[in-house]
Amino acid sequence: MTPMHFTKLVKPKRSSVYDSYWKFASKRFDVFIKRLTDTSGPWTNDPVIAKNRFTNVFRASDRVSQYLIKLQYEERIPNAKEIFFRTILFKLFNKIETYECLLRKFGQISYDNFSFDEYDKILTHELVENNRIYSAAYIMPSAGSVFGYKFKHSNHLALLSKMMKDKLYYKIAESNSLEKIYQLLLSYPSLGNFLAFQYTIDLNYSTLSNFSEMDFVIAGPGAKNGITKCFQSLGDYSFEDIIKMMTDDQEMEFKRLGIDQLTLWGRPLQLIDCQNLFCEVDKYLRVTNPEVSDSTGRTRIKQKFTTGKGPISLFFPPKWQINQKITALC
């Protein structure tokens, strides 16, 4: 019997601020490119972008992602177990300073010399000293109801320990799709849809897996807010369908608006980039178009722009084959 295919008949309807998605992407990407060769600025005449913190258009070019990717390809990381351990340890806190604090204490981060008690002691000390150990980028659920520790970081170390004991790294290495990796991560406590997908992308930067970023996407809460601002109605489309549509239509939309297509040295926007862009556009529209509200009712951007620390040095997963294309000025 021939399988039946169903076409989505009702198309999404764009809102009055739909074009802001592409225009914001162009302006924010222009800032990224200018900062590669100009350390002082100004890099934009858009006051909202100049004053507030927005992530880079291409997720892999952000400071935290860059740190992680360089970490994953250090020569001293020998195998899947260590790649997984260091990636998840870093991402549980998502803060460079926290990882480097552990590095200073231990000299080397490795599962072979991992001690829950020692790591817990160090992170508890940082907490007592009023040093922030988690990034403000997103909220990490504590998992306290599962593992029972007083402090959130203790529960997260317990979560990592469970993953390692389960040999999750082997299961991920043997997965046949990004979605399978996502489902494996989603089965662990405190990792909801958003975090499980973000960690899937982070692991896929490494040699542990090698799938296209065009294969699978999950819309996070911020992206959903951005989508509901850019579209009056979704029609028969899911949030993920909208993200896929934007990715598919990027060349046409940039051309329609007279904007040069954005690429990361020839690599166009991927699903994860378009997902993140909706989150950033949501923030941008809070200020430029406060009349376009969402369910949160927020009208300001919490994080303000601060000048980066040191020169920008870029490195991307070698399997993307774009490192050799980056200009020497970068």
Per residue in 305-320, pLDDT (tens digit) is 676 656 678 999 999 9
Q: What angle do CA 37, 34, 280 make, to 5 degrees?
A: 140
| Start-to-end Cα distance in the chain | 56
pLDDT on residue 7: 67
- Compute the radius of gyration of the chain from its Cα atoms: 21
pLDDT on residue 221: 94
* 142 within some domain: yes
* 258 within some domain: yes
CA distances from 272 to 23, 38, 62, 223, 324 (A): 18, 28, 13, 10, 23
pLDDT on residue 4: 46
* 307 within some domain: yes
Confidence of residue 299 (pLDDT cuts 50, 70, 90): low
81 and 190 assigned to the same domain:
yes
Task: For tokens 């990490």, name the residue.
Answer: 140
pTM of the full predicted structure?
A: 0.92
How many structural domains is the chain composed of? Answer: 2
- d(CA 8, CA 237) in angstroms, rounded, equals 7
- d(CA 194, CA 51) in angstroms, rounded, equals 27
Asked if residue 115 has pLDDT above 80, the reply is yes
pLDDT on residue 137: 78
* 66 within some domain: no
* 5 within some domain: no
Confidence of residue 1 (pLDDT cuts 50, 70, 90): very low
pLDDT on residue 304: 74
* 211 within some domain: no
* 138 within some domain: yes
129 and 188 assigned to the same domain:
yes
pLDDT digits (tens, 9 = 90+) for 142-195: 888 899 999 999 999 999 999 999 999 999 999 999 999 999 999 999 999 999
pLDDT on residue 138: 77
142 and 199 assigned to the same domain:
yes
- d(CA 286, CA 278) in angstroms, rounded, equals 12
pLDDT digits (tens, 9 = 90+) for 206-232: 999 999 999 999 999 999 999 999 999
Q: Domain containing 160: what range?
A: 74-205
226 and 306 assigned to the same domain:
yes
Buried residues in 109-147 as b, exposed as e (16+ CB within 10 A): bebeebeeeebbebbeebbeeeeebbbeeeebebbbeeb
Q: What angle do CA 276, 123, 81 make, to 5 degrees?
A: 65
